[in-house]
């Protein structure tokens, strides 16, 4: 007997498993134990709604029509009720009880990142394959996630603990993947998924971008205007960067920073696919791009007050990502992030012009990386004020010292809820918006 929507398979956890110290740490943010338990039960399954960001709101009716034909009416495809450049694809009825774990099918073992992508609608690409037996291309296989990360690359018959997620057909062989080292392309084409979500590989890439709803919303909150000079401090893979460009009508300038080479390449690839012309990609560490003595507006180090708007989505503990069957992070790793994030924030404030806008966002849950960062900004920089992060789709922030109840309502917190609607059955996410005073205040 297979599971209900509460779990992915009979061998998968019914809640996301965290290190006990990390779970205790989260209890300081979510004091309601019932709410925390609901979050932990929502994390292992992907959202029921797939959101597609359009290059132009004018495409909305056309995209809905074309996708309805593409999927032959299998999914309900609608306009988002508030965001005109978003189309919503409603997934099927959760886990498919008709999809058995076929014991007679050979097993393809994939890494956790690949498995999560399969659960969100992707095929299996060759870099994600860790183990498979000798099979000709075209063989039917069952795809399993190596949730303990113990399968060695190239294993033929892995016997460790796995979670079944899909059935598919091989498009590559062991020789292709492990001998010829083919590191691009589809290794297994998925035919049946444990959770019925749409596959959008290579679908309308010139018109749509697959993106989580809160991430789409972040660009709307920043609200860039044509002709402005924008900084995206941590920009890969480019969803927000390209969205900002489209919102500006491709008029103005966006500097997109990324320090990891393969992420830089993915960023440039997405910029090309989205036909964006106003973005300059710079490979650099965003914590090293500001200098008090500089006057540069186009290459680092940048000077003070040179950007009209800054988007900062810094590295975070990512505890809000879905699907997330388990999380192996230890508490020392988690508590490292707030001080690291502060380095980005402090420089962002200095690079923002008087009257400019800063938007701060994360895809994580702890208040230490979210509301407490906001409170620290307000405490440290008297010329920065918190303003409503409109349009509002999420809930209010949690209570922390330094934020009033009114200010808690100004930020947006998305708390995973697998029983919610399109605006609440999302990844965990946080958004705050700041305005820098047009006149520099002197702290007396």
Which residues belong to the active site? 363
Tokens of 116: 């999560």
CA-based radius of gyration for the chain: 22
Q: Which residues pair with 360 in a beta bridge?
A: 312, 432
Closest CA to 349 of 382, 300, 389: 382
Closest CA to 187 of 272, 141, 124: 124
Instruction: Give the Cα separation of 317 and 355 in Å (integer).
Output: 31
Instruction: Give the Cα separation of 231 and 241 in Å (integer).
Output: 9
Instruction: Give the Cα separation of 33 and 361 in Å (integer).
Output: 25
H helix or E strand, kind and range, residue 306 = none
CB within 8 Å of 351: residues ≥ 6 apart: 231, 289, 290, 302, 303, 304, 305, 306, 307, 310
H helix or E strand, kind and range, residue 6 = none
Q: Enumerate helices (H) and strands (E) in the chain, giving the number of each.
A: 11, 18
Asked whether the beta carbons of 175 and 161 are under 8 A apart, the reply is no
CA atoms 363, 365, 371, 376: torsion sign: negative
CB within 8 Å of 168: residues ≥ 6 apart: 108, 123, 124, 140, 141, 143, 188, 189, 190, 191, 192
Query: For 202-223, b where at least 16 C-beta lie within 10 A, e where not — what string?
Result: eebeebbbbbbbbbbbbbbbbb
């Amino acid at each position: 007997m297979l599971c209900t929507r509460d779990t992915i398979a009979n061998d998968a956890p019914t809640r996301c498993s965290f290190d006990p110290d990390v779970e205790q740490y989260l209890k300081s943010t979510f004091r309601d134990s019932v709410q925390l338990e609901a979050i932990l039960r929502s994390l292992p399954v992907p959202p029921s709604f797939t959101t597609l960001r359009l290059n132009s709101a004018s495409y909305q009716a056309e995209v809905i029509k074309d996708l309805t034909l593409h999927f032959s009416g299998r999914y309900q495809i609608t306009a988002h009720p508030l965001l005109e450049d978003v189309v919503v694809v409603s997934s099927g009825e959760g886990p498919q009880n008709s999809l058995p774990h076929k014991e007679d099918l050979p097993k393809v073992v994939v890494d956790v990142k690949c498995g999560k992508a399969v659960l969100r609608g992707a095929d299996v690409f060759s870099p994600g394959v860790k183990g498979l037996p000798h099979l000709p291309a075209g063989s039917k296989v069952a795809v399993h996630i190596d949730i303990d990360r113990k399968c060695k690359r190239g294993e033929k018959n892995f016997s460790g603990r796995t979670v079944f997620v899909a059935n598919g057909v091989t498009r590559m062989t062991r020789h292709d993947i492990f001998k010829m080292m083919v590191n691009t392309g589809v290794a297994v084409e998925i035919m049946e998924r444990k959770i019925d979500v749409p596959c959008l590989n290579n679908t309308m890439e010139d018109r749509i971008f697959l993106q989580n709803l809160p991430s789409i919303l972040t660009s709307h909150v920043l609200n860039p205007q044509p002709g402005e000079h924008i900084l995206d401090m941590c920009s890969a893979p480019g969803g927000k960067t390209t969205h900002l460009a489209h919102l500006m009508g491709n008029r103005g300038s966006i500097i997109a920073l990324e320090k990891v080479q393969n992420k830089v390449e993915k960023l440039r690839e997405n910029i090309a696919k989205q036909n964006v012309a106003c973005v300059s990609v710079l490979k650099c560490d965003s914590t090293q791009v500001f200098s008090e003595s500089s006057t540069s507006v186009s290459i680092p180090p940048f000077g003070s007050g040179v950007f009209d708007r800054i988007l900062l989505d810094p590295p975070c503990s990512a505890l809000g990502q879905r699907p997330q069957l388990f999380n192996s992070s230890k508490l020392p790793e988690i508590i490292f992030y707030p001080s690291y994030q502060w380095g980005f924030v402090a420089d962002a404030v200095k690079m923002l012009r008087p009257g400019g806008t800063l938007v701060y966002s994360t895809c994580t849950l702890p208040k230490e990386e979210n509301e407490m960062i906001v409170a620290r900004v307000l405490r440290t920089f008297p010329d920065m004020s918190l303003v409503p992060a409109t349009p509002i789709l999420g809930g209010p922030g949690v209570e922390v010292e330094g934020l009033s109840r009114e200010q808690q309502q100004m930020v947006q917190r998305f708390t995973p809820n697998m029983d919610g609607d399109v605006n609440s059955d999302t990844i965990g996410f946080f958004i705050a918006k700041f305005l820098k005073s047009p006149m520099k205040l002197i702290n007396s």
